[in-house]
Amino acid sequence: MVYTFYRLISSLIPFAATLNLWRRSWREPDYRIRITERFGFVPPHVKHGSFWIHAVSAGEVIAAEALVNQLLTNAESSQVLITTTTPSGSAEVTRRFGERVDHCYMPYDAKRCIRRFINLTRPRALILIETELWPNLLNITRQEGIDVCLLNARLSARSARRYHFVSSLTKRMLNCISMIVSQYEDTADRFRKLGFPSEHIHVTGNIKFDRSISEETQRSAELGRERWCGERPCWLAASTHPGEDEVVLEAHVRARETHPDLLLVLVPRHPHRTHDVEVLASTRSLTTARYSDVFQSVDVLVVDQMGVLLEMCGVADVAFIGGSLEGTGGHNPVEPAVFGVPMLMGPDRMNFEEVCARFVDSGCLTTVHDEDELASELLGLLNDPDLRKRQGDAARLVVYENRGAAERQFRIVSGWLHDAS
């Protein structure tokens, strides 16, 4: 009954979603580009018979990088098609893989759009990165005999309750999936309780711990430190959202009372918000410069480009992880940890519960709730180099001890792909 209702209203999805694209395009013009791909039309260069990987945005593309590179070197699976939903995800595919993979946007979850896309691409199998469950997509891939794997799956307790609320639809979707490769046991258990068979679930850890620092990134971070900081202390606010920028900037003002030369590197989650952040800073009498401009000595460096967050983590002495104070669910803390940077984060970390728990247990991720706590904890770390080093070393150790998921996942997936093809 629920699926029948969804199937009826899904015919309206392209109309509603296109209106939403145009709304977003006023701030992010890239949403106006290649709209026909969202209706299932694919570029002429996209080949038939690829292994199809869907990665919603930049974070999922980065998470899938190791798997994609391994697939590209495997003669049996060297043809890969990656779809994304966001322009930032699309840009990340181009940045990391270039012409080694085919790429286009994921079609809307309307029957005609999905069928058109599948008829034009004829994929051999579909890998969904993390948890992207769409009823029409899963139903049609099953009808077409396309095996589906949910990879690096994560499912929070809150999301699981929502899926329980529409249990008949959830069971129908899960019946279309042949294998789930879960990050952690809690997610695996939630999928079991939703009705997915235990024998088709594998627990491997989170591939985001396999993030490494290339020599190029290391060198860029060192040059950035010399260029922007010199001898100045520096802290990073990574992937901030509206409502968090104000908290970060207030904490920065307070911290500068003790450290007048303190530099803040502020990285909005969406670069189109750069101007808004600059206005917020100016109202607090803070000078700003943009990452893309000729450098000048300022109070706040605003990063207005995608793809440079990792190197900026290497510039900072302390990092605040955004998306954690205003209901987004938090962002990935592994990137600053790879550089051995102690971390501060709000209490909302639904997207990375298990990952954050490992850092909290090791004493290198501190919870803050407002600008008062953020300024206090920031000053505590800035004033104590030994504490920063202990927490930074602990963060690196957590990353090191949790590596290996990418290799484990590839072994599982390669066997599954062999059977699927």
Q: So which residues are the catalytic ones?
A: 60
First to last CA, the chain: 33
| CB-CB contact of 136 with 111 (8 Å) | yes
* Alpha-carbon gap, residue 296 to 287, rounded angstroms: 10
Interaxial angle between packed helices 371-382 and 385-401, expressed in degrees from 0 to 180 and rounded to the nearest 10 = 100
Residue 29 CA, chain-centre distance (Å), reads 21
Q: What DSSP element (H or E) covers 242? A: none
* Alpha-carbon gap, residue 201 to 218, rounded angstroms: 37
Instruction: Copy the structure tokens of residue 180.
Output: 């789930």
CB neighbours of residue 124 within 10 Å: 18
User: How far is residue 37 from each of residues 44, 55, 57, 217, 275, measured CA to CA in Å?
Assistant: 11, 15, 16, 33, 30
- The single-letter DSSP state of residue 347 is S
Q: What is the DSSP string of 274-327?
A: HHHHHHHHHTTT--EEETTSPP---SEEE--SSS-HHHHHTT-SEEEESSSSSS
Q: Which of 220, 312, 219, 327 is nearest to 266 (CA)?
A: 312
Q: What type of residue sits at position 262?
A: L
Interaxial angle between packed helices 405-420 and 58-72, expressed in degrees from 0 to 180 and rounded to the nearest 10 = 60
Q: Which of 190, 134, 181, 137 is nearest to 161 (CA)?
A: 190
In the block, which residue shows the tokens 């990452």?
Answer: 291
| CB-CB contact of 176 with 196 (8 Å) | no
